[in-house]
Amino acid sequence: MSPELRHDVFGPTGWADLTEVADVVAECEDGLALSLHPRRQEAEVLVTSWGMPRLTEDLLRKLPALRTVVHAAGSIRKLISEAVWAQGIVVVSAADANNEPVAEYVYAQTVLALKDVHRRAHRIKSGKGLPSLEEVPGIYGQPVGLVSFGSTARKVATRLRHLESEVMAWDPHVPTDTLRRLDVTPVTDLRELFTRSLVLSVHAPLIPGQTEKLVTGELLRCLPHGATLINTARGAVVDEDALADVLRERPDLYAVLDVTTREPLPPESPLYALPNVMLTGHVAGTVSAERRAMGRLVVEELRRIAAGSPPAHAVSAHASLLRA
C-alpha cells in the first residue's frame, strides 16, 4: 500500500504495533513492486488494502512461503482469486471494522428519513414554506426493512433497537430462526418487505447473475407513501433507470444513494436532477481517521497468528461468494 494509505490505516502508533508483532520483510506500494522485491519469497503473511492487484496464480508463485492474507479493507472480491483458495491460503478481512461507519451512516439516515428531514429541507429551501409536522412519521416504532442480513445489516438492526423499530429482513441465506433470535422479523417474500417498510435499506452483495438489479421498479412501486430507500451496498444491485422512473412518478418517495453503478454517475443521469434523491458519493465506509479501526483489527489478527491461534476474522471461500 502507498505511504499515504498506510498512514490512514495504521497511523504512527498502529504501524509501530505491527512492527513489534511482525518482522516486516518488504514494504511495497503495488503488485509490481511486490513481485520484484528481493525478499518476497520470505513473506508468510501479506497485509493488503485498497489498490492491491488480484492475487493471481502467477503472483502467488513468486510468494512461495505465503500462508495468510490479511486485507485491511472491506471487500476481498477483486483481490482473491481461485488460486488463493486452491492453495489453502488463509484469508482475513477487516470488513468488520470497515462496516461500522456504514452501520452508523444507515442509522443516521434512517433517523433523518423518519423525521422527514430530506424532503422538508428541500421544500423549505425551495421557498415553499414549512411542511406540516403532521406529515412526519417520527422515529419510534416504525417498520424498517433490510435487504440481506450480513454483518453490516446486523449492526444496523442492533442500533435500531434504540428506536424500538420493527426490523424486518429478507435473506435467503440466513435461517429464519437466526433472525428471530436477533429480534428481527424474517420476510421470505421481497415484495412483502418493500410493501411493509417505511425505510428500506439495501445491504445485498453484488453477485453477478443473481443480485444485479435485484431492486426492480416493480418492487420500488410497492413502497408505502413517504418511504425512503437507502443503498450503501453496491449500486448495480438497484435498477437505477427504474428507480429514476419511480421517483418521478412518486415524489412522496426518497432515495439516499451512497453507491451508484458508475461512480460518479454520468452527467446525463436523471438522478442528478430529481429533488427526491440524495447522492453522497461512497462516504459511508471508513474514511480518514476511521480507517485506524481497520489497522487495529489487522494488528490484533497478526498477534493471534503469531501466537499460533486462528484469526477471528477469517473468510471462507463459500462465505466470500455471499459478500460484497
Mean of pLDDT over the chain: 96
Contact 94, 298 (CB under 8 A): yes
pLDDT, tens digit, for every residue of 184-211? 999 999 999 999 999 999 999 999 899 9
One-letter amino acid at 163 equals L
In this predicted structure, what is the pLDDT of residue 321? 84
pLDDT, tens digit, for every residue of 49-69? 999 999 999 999 999 999 999
Nearest to 277 by CA among 208, 223, 230, 221: 230
State yes or no: cis peptide before 264, omega within 30 of 0: yes
Residue in this structure with the C-alpha cell 481517521, named with its chain if needed: 289
In this predicted structure, what is the pLDDT of residue 322? 83
Please give the grid coordinates belonging to residue 41: 519469497
Residue 137 has pLDDT above 90, yes or no: yes
Second-level CATH architecture of 100-279: 3-Layer(aba) Sandwich (3.40)
Q: What residue ranges do the domains of the chain occupy? A: 3-98+288-321, 100-279
Active-site amino acid positions: 234, 263, 282
Gap between the Cα atoms of 211 and 197, Å rounded: 20
pLDDT band with cut points at 50, 70 and 90 for residue 246 = very high
Tell me 287's DSSP state.
Answer: -
Residue 324 has pLDDT above 80, yes or no: no
In this predicted structure, what is the pLDDT of residue 191? 99
Question: Which whole number is the average pLDDT over 173-182?
Answer: 98
Sequence-distant (≥ 6) Cβ neighbours of residue 148 within 8 angstroms: 169, 170, 171, 202, 203, 204, 205, 233
Question: Which whole number is the average pLDDT over 238-262?
Answer: 98
pLDDT, tens digit, for every residue of 139-170? 999 999 999 999 999 999 999 999 999 999 99
In this predicted structure, what is the pLDDT of residue 287? 93
> Kind of pairing, strands 90-93 and 277-279?
unpaired
In this predicted structure, what is the pLDDT of residue 311? 98
Sequence-distant (≥ 6) Cβ neighbours of residue 121 within 8 angstroms: none
In this predicted structure, what is the pLDDT of residue 73? 95
Do the first three CATH levels of 3-98+288-321 and 100-279 match, i.e. the same topology? yes
**What CATH superfamily is the domain 3-98+288-321?**
NAD(P)-binding Rossmann-like Domain (3.40.50.720)
In whole angstroms, how far apart are CA 34 and each of 82, 93, 204, 285? 20, 20, 33, 27
In whole angstroms, how far apart are CA 268 and each of 215, 265, 271? 22, 8, 9
